[in-house]
Amino acid sequence: MGPATAVAAAGGLVYVTVLVTAVFNPHNSAIGYAPTQPVPYSHALHVGELGLDCRYCHTTVEHTARASIPPAEICMNCHKSIFTESPKLLPVREAFATGKPLAWVRVHDLPDFAYFDHSAHVNAGVGCVTCHGRVDRMEVVSQQAKLTMGWCLECHRDPDRNLRPAAEVTNMEWVPDEDPASLGRRLREQHDVNPSTDCTTCHR
Ligand code: HEC
Ligand code: HEC
Ligand code: HEC
Ligand code: HEC
Ligand code: HEC
């Protein structure tokens, strides 16, 4: 299939899917969307106060397209000895005992016709905070970026000021100690970072 046919085919798919998603996915691209979760898990407490790194729980974020949501086992590393009687943690203890995963509600959810890959961004030096905001201050996670195609493209066309050293990708407080654009340009050249704006990068 040539590129023109591929785009036409993607166009048809996109058209149908947009209608369906518009009906069934009303929260897509809603800044501030913050659904109530089955357990009142707080990033402000576990990351902001206790200092846990994102990758302690979101273990696949550097290796795969998806940033995994942690299984109850990870919570129980601590909660089999801390707050063992807490009613707030009852669903976690049940999930751990039965092996039936907790029903966390998705916050960010692109339509199925758009493809996103965490590892490509994190390994290129785009920090979590750039797209998700100050998660370390959130009692309840809320969507911070528009997640529209225009938002994706704005950075793909000119990523420089959004690049940081690889060691700082999960650091929510990092600030560059030089002009962000010139640091970004240097990092981009060093690591050969060139985000694509071809339709097939995100619509495959
Ligand atoms: C102790 C485990 C843990 C740590 C550490 C942690 N998270 Fe999470 N994270 C969770 C859990 C559990 C959820 C699902 C419940 C929720 O949305 O609050 C989640 C949800 C999220 C979501 C929303 C996912 C969605 O549904 O769209 C984002 C974004 C996120 N985390 C980012 C981060 C970032 C960034 C860090 C580091 C600064 C971090 N997390 C550290 C456990 C953790
Ligand atoms: C590294 C250890 C550690 C891990 C891992 C951890 N927690 Fe915690 N959690 C704590 C500590 C410590 C507290 C209590 C802080 C305080 O209030 O003194 C706490 C408190 C809580 C509370 C509040 C309990 C109450 O009754 O007020 C909830 C809910 C909670 N954690 C959920 C989770 C969930 C869900 C996970 C897994 C996604 C998780 N925790 C993973 C250490 C941890
Ligand atoms: C370039 C922007 C960007 C960066 C950087 C980024 N994310 Fe995301 N994140 C997204 C988007 C977009 C989604 C929704 C993906 C979807 O619906 O397919 C998402 C979804 C998530 C989810 C829900 C599970 C999933 O994969 O859909 C978690 C958890 C998460 N991000 C954590 C993180 C953490 C932790 C970091 C840093 C290590 C990070 N993200 C860096 C844009 C980003
Ligand atoms: C803040 C900047 C930024 C934002 C926002 C952003 N990207 Fe990216 N994207 C990048 C960078 C940097 C790369 C890595 C390019 C490289 O390594 O050459 C990348 C790479 C990718 C790749 C990997 C392409 C491949 O070759 O595998 C995909 C897919 C992608 N982005 C999709 C998206 C989508 C979809 C969105 C919006 C939901 C988005 N991006 C938002 C900066 C961004
Ligand atoms: C960097 C990622 C990225 C690239 C490159 C990209 N798109 Fe998109 N596109 C998205 C995302 C994410 C959405 C869903 C969010 C939205 O609707 O804005 C989307 C939505 C769409 C839609 C649905 C209508 C709409 O605007 O909501 C169409 C049609 C579309 N893209 C066509 C294209 C075409 C044609 C190209 C190439 C010229 C292209 N896209 C390139 C990320 C991308």
Average pLDDT by consecutive 10-residue portion of the chain (204 residues)?
49 50 54 96 98 98 97 98 97 98 96 97 98 98 96 98 97 95 96 97 96
Query: Residue 202: CB partners within 8 Å, gap ≥ 6?
Result: 114, 115, 116, 149, 152
Ligand 4 centroid–CA 75 distance in Å is 31
**92-102 as b/e: b if 16+ CB within 10 A:** bbebbeeeeeb
Give the Cα separation of 101 and 9 in Å (integer): 37
Q: Is the CB of 108 under 6 A from ligand 1?
A: yes
Report pLDDT for 74: 98
Report how far Cα 23 is from the mean position of its chain's Cα atoms: 24
Ligand 4 centroid–CA 130 distance in Å is 12
Report how far Cα 140 is from the mean position of its chain's Cα atoms: 15
Ligand 5 centroid–CA 20 distance in Å is 16
Ligand 2 centroid–CA 133 distance in Å is 22
Report pLDDT for 27: 46
Give the Cα separation of 138 and 142 in Å (integer): 8
Question: Please, is 53 exposed, middle or buried when counting C-beta atoms within 10 Å of its C-beta (0-12, 13-18, 19+)?
Answer: exposed
Torsion of CA 103, 52, 58, 34, to 10 degrees: 50
Residue whose Cα lies nearest atom 23 of ligand 3: it is 67
**Nearest atom (ligand 1) to Cα of 132:** 29
Give the Cα separation of 3 and 135 in Å (integer): 39
Output the ligand 3 site: residues, CB below 6 A.
54, 58, 61, 66-67, 69, 108-110, 116, 118, 121-122, 126, 128, 130-132, 147, 169-170
Place of tokens 């897509």: 28
Residue 118 in contact with residue 65, Cβ under 8 Å? yes
Considering every ligand atom, which ligand is closest to the CA of 33?
Answer: 1
Residue whose Cα lies nearest atom 37 of ligand 1: it is 54
Output the ligand 2 site: residues, CB below 6 A.
39-41, 45-46, 50, 52, 57, 70, 74-75, 77-79, 82-83, 86, 88-89, 92
